[in-house]
Amino acid sequence: MSAIHLARLSAFALMLAAIAGCTTVPTAANATAPALQTKLNPGYYRVMVGDFEVTALSDGTLPFDTDKWLTNTTPAQVEKALAKVYLKAPPESSVNAFLVNTGAKLVLVDAGSGALFGPALGKLLLNMEAAGYSPEQVDEIYITHLHADHVGGLMSGDKLAFPNAVVRADKHDADFWLSDENLKNAPEAMKSFFEGARASLNPYIKAGKFKPFEGGTDLVSGVKAVPMPGHTPGHTFYVAESKGQRIVFWGDLVHVEAVQLPNPSVTAVFDVDSKAAAAQRKKALADLAKQGTLIGAPHIAFPGIGRLRKDGKGYAWVPVNYSAKP
């Protein structure tokens, strides 16, 4: 593991420590009907992709410290980009996961953060049950990469959160984050992050329920993995297709929509290989915008389902049209 990789991982560790202390402080209200001082926002949303039912699940939201965590840009440029969409730093970032019901299999793409990010997140199981599914029904779990907000929810305390599911991820990511040598050589502040990945996956490995793949791979019928390394060594897109319609779950291709879509060159401190991540982002955004492909995005405002359109030298996000139809 190179010194550059270690430096980036150390920065990511600082982010995790900051987020773990996040809480929401209610504000006072003097109206006749007092504020409830709790927020229960919609936590799931469904769309159909051909015959596949796709349910977006919220794991919660947290502030994203753009001034510290975005790279290849400046705070002034970030502030300007955020202001164009009426935001200020740090913007609130969604953490989303997605259920795909193919009719034959129930597939979860990413598993949220569980307890690894503190009280700001960890809402995935609650919202899955609100959506009408139980974790016992999940057949397969596809992890885009092994960062804490994507794998922490695999465990519920000391038990498998999804006891009947097989977990799958690219072997390159598993080899990187589960490596004894990488753990040993990691900065002290980062060791807990490697340990979090191990704590989330090792119980599934022990149970014979972790099956890594390598590169482009057909998984269940109608769902395939597409390698997109850069953000992490085994960062992966998942593509679900039915009756000529498809949706792409793009993992952490984009962290801050308002900044990185207008300027895809902007990177993040926790990209293991920021140069490769930027190159992958530029190519993928161009392809997805040209094709008008439906996208499931973990860090775009919930439900994180929409499309891209070309906008000058960059791109703009077009959220899926809301529908209350059953």
Assess contact for 268 and 70: CB atoms under 8 A. Answer: yes
One DSSP character per residue, 197-253 reads HHHHHHHHHHTT-B--B-SSEE-STTEEEEE-TTSSTT-EEEEEEETTEEEEE-TTS
Q: Count Cα neighbours of 208 within 13 Å in the Cβ-side half-sphere.
A: 0
Q: What's the pLDDT score for residue 191? A: 81
Q: What's the pLDDT score for residue 250? A: 98
Q: What's the pLDDT score for residue 205? A: 97
Q: What is the pLDDT along the chain (326 residues), one digit of tens a residue?
A: 665 565 555 555 555 555 555 444 445 545 577 776 666 677 999 999 999 999 999 999 999 999 999 999 999 999 999 999 999 999 999 999 999 999 999 999 999 999 988 888 999 999 999 999 999 999 999 999 999 999 999 999 999 999 999 999 999 999 999 999 999 998 787 787 788 899 999 999 999 999 999 999 999 999 999 999 999 999 999 999 999 999 999 999 999 999 999 999 999 998 999 999 999 999 999 999 999 999 999 999 999 999 999 999 999 999 999 988 76
- How buried is 254 (Cβ within 10 angstroms: 0-12 exposed, 13-18 middle, 19+ buried)? buried
- Write down all domains in the chain, each with its CATH number in brackets: 3-16+42-319 (3.60.15.10)
Lay out the sheet containing 44-49: strands in order across: 44-49, 52-63, 92-101, 106-109, 140-142, 166-168
- How buried is 28 (Cβ within 10 angstroms: 0-12 exposed, 13-18 middle, 19+ buried)? exposed
222: CB partners within 8 A, 6+ apart: 52, 102, 240, 241, 242
Whole-angstrom Cα distance, residue 4 to residue 53?
Answer: 41
Q: What's the pLDDT score for residue 319? A: 97
Q: What's the pLDDT score for residue 1? A: 64
The torsion angle over the Cα atoms of residues 121, 125, 129 and 135, rounded to 10 degrees, is: 160
What 3-state class would DSSP assign to 272? Answer: coil
DSSP class of 151: H
- Among left, alpha and beta (phi > 0; psi -120 to 50; other), residue 312 is left
